[in-house]
Homo-oligomer: A and B are copies of this chain.
């Protein structure tokens, strides 16, 4: 119950964690329930005791992402200066550069793939992105007289665009280049 990664965690938790990883690495469409069940060491038929459909399992993954972002932003709030909080945010993506170069940003790629749907899931998948943008805008409000919403978008667009290019070109250094930008360093705040 307490272990968030290992085999001792609850079955529901193992299913969500396994699905999260597989969706990121292989994409939504290529990931089957059989794959997820195997990764979580749960028999296929038992998945439906915890989730009534594949879509609902994906929804749980999105909710888990939102939870992770929320935790991350709360951690960043402990940093005294707002400008340093923003720099630390960008540094998080730089630290994930190897994974990003292979599989892209987990939030960005999932939003991109689910955005093509017209059930509610397309908008839900934007949740983590909305959270980060709103938080960033709040930090910027302390720093600049310019439009915080617009500056937040500029900042995170650089991160997401950098992640996309790093992934397409399989080049982790692109993420570092983005993190070193004056933009990301909040020199213009």
Contacts and interface: CB of A to CB of B under 8 A. Distances in A.
Contacts of A113: 27, 112-113
A106 interface: no
A159 B125 CA distance: 21
Interface residues of A, number: 43
Contacts of A30: 29, 116
Interface stretch (A13-21, A51-59, A72-80, A173-181): A173-181
A1 B53 CA distance: 47
A30 B30 CA distance: 11
A6 B48 CA distance: 47
Interface stretch (A35-43, A81-89, A137-145, A150-158): A150-158
A25 interface: yes
B160 A164 contact: yes
B154 A181 contact: yes
Contacts of A69: none
15 contacts: A26-B116, A111-B168, A112-B164, A115-B168, A123-B170, A129-B169, A133-B165, A150-B177, A157-B157, A157-B161, A157-B164, A157-B178, A160-B161, A161-B161, A161-B163
Given A157-B161, A160-B164, A161-B161, 16 more contacts: A25-B116, A29-B29, A29-B30, A103-B115, A111-B168, A112-B112, A112-B167, A112-B168, A113-B113, A129-B169, A150-B177, A153-B177, A157-B174, A160-B160, A160-B165, A161-B163
